[in-house]
Amino acid sequence: MKTKLSDLLRPLMLGALLLSGATAATAQVQPLDRVVAIVDNDVIMQSQLDQRVREVQQTIGRRGAELPSDDVLRTQVLERLITENLQLQMGERSGIRISDEELNQAMGTIAQRNNMTLEQFRTALAGDGLTLEDAREQIRREMVISRVRQRRIAERVQVSNQEVQNFLRSDLGKMQLSEEYRLANILIPVPESADSATVQAAERSANETYQQLQQGADFGQLAVSRSASENALEGGEMGWRKAAQLPPPFDSLVQGMQVGQVTEPIRTPPGFILVKLLEKRGGETQVRDEVHVRHILIKPSEIRSNEESRRLVQRLHDRISAGEDFAELARSFSEDPGSALNGGDLNWVDPNSLVPEFREVMANTASGQLSAPFQSPYGWHILEVLGRRATDASEEFREQQAMTILRNRKYDEELQAWLRQIRDEAYVEIKI
């Protein structure tokens, strides 16, 4: 599935727009912009809010969902802009800079994911009302926010091997690694210091939302108009999650849900949450192809040219073809310190872990056969394929999954708490 440009490029433009008068006789500068929020040492402008609202409206329209009222949408968008602005200011204070080279690589990656050339990418951006320069600035800001989060949150999240093993041995771990779920949520917030009347009002709102969903209301539209989650403007989309990444009781609830089903409102510390199951996948056995291979490496150097290295490898190839022992010649001549003492034996390897030149020659060499001399970034090689096998890598894959699940769960908890903290501690004055 192609990633939509609008999902990858979200406008973050700051500044004011000035327009001169229509006639020379009355020419004057007329401000069309104004401050809508003061956020610590920066401001959010009306033009920035308007542009983001238009972008969100386009995104919701492409999903075919009904738009919420303008006031509701603007409130949601402004809160998102405030949170982003705070993170960008942190990045500025921390000296985070994104180089032109990094931006170029990011642009190329986005174009490639959409199966486009850069020129086609530029045309597609124009169709969304963006220039290539706009896109670069948006991507730069997204990268700054990502790095701020990495510094403030990700580096604090640690998962030990013991935690991974405990998780794998647990009944929940064994069960959760079999499937994953694409979810969306709606959060009806309840302030920490809320009195009983406020809690009851939030509960009524959550129950009304649930009843509307049961009667066929669009989940994404209600998320945009009512949810206080960070992902509200994306229709509540949470992406793919393992059940173990979810707090109780959602971790057990999703296992028994059918695609399209929505949970009843559940009280949590942030408020009342409803979760919808959009898709489920996973549970397959993971098989990895491995090759048993040995090689001899000859490196060009200051005292041996590239051509001389090639000729030496060719002579070694001829000697092996004439019946000399591969392992003995590898121990005597190979300049790969990791395998030379073992007669050039690399043991069973995953082809994907090797450089493309080595991988390609190995793939085209039959078991028991010697390759012709070939060059890689490391130098000149000859290799011999000793065997091939398919290995069940499910256990290793499960360990990787468990590590990712535990890290993501800790990261999500830290991120939501941190976002609330920086919002509460910031000076924010809303002007509309």
> For strand 428-430 and strand 345-349, is the pairing parallel, antiparallel, or unpaired?
unpaired
Determine the residue type at 320.
I
CA distance 139 to 110: 10
CA distance 261 to 254: 9
Per residue in 238-288, pLDDT (tens digit) is: 999 877 778 888 888 888 899 999 999 999 888 999 999 999 887 555 677
Q: Look at the block and give the residue holding tokens 């603007």.
A: 74
pLDDT at 216: 92
Judge whether residue 384 has pLDDT over 70: yes
CA distance 271 to 203: 9
Confidence of residue 399 (pLDDT cuts 50, 70, 90): confident
State the pTM of this model. 0.48
Per residue in 180-234, pLDDT (tens digit) is: 899 999 999 998 888 999 999 999 999 999 999 999 999 999 999 999 988 899 9
Mean pLDDT of 68-95: 92
Q: Judge whether 316 and 374 are in contact, CB under 8 Å.
A: no
Q: If we measure between CA atoms, which residue out of 315, 381, 301 comes closest to residue 346?
A: 381
DSSP 429: E
Long-range contacts of 322-329 (CB under 8 A, 24+ apart): 326/294, 326/296, 326/370, 326/384, 327/294, 329/296
Q: If we measure between CA atoms, which residue out of 275, 226, 222 comes closest to residue 248?
A: 275
Percent helix, strand and coil across the chain, each to the nearest 5: 50, 20, 30
Mean pLDDT of 413-432: 89
pLDDT at 151: 84
> For strand 271-281 and strand 42-45, is the pairing parallel, antiparallel, or unpaired?
unpaired
Of the listed ranges 116-130, 335-349, 361-375, the least confidently predicted one is 116-130
pLDDT at 129: 73
Mean pLDDT of 155-179: 81
More confident residue, 283 or 363: 363
Per residue in 298-330, pLDDT (tens digit) is: 999 888 899 999 999 999 999 999 999 999 999
More confident residue, 22 or 66: 66
Domains of the chain: 180-281 (3.10.50.40), 287-391 (3.10.50.40)
pLDDT at 269: 87
CA distance 334 to 382: 10
High-pLDDT (> 90) share of the chain, % = 45
* Stated length of the chain: 432
Q: What is the average pLDDT value for the chain, to the nearest integer? A: 85
The DSSP result for 172-229, as a single string, is: HHHHHTT-EEEEEEEEEE--TT--HHHHHHHHHHHHHHHHHHHTT--HHHHHHHH--S
Q: If we measure between CA atoms, which residue out of 357, 363, 352, 348 comes closest to residue 378?
A: 357
pLDDT at 31: 57
pLDDT at 19: 27
pLDDT at 13: 31
pLDDT at 204: 94
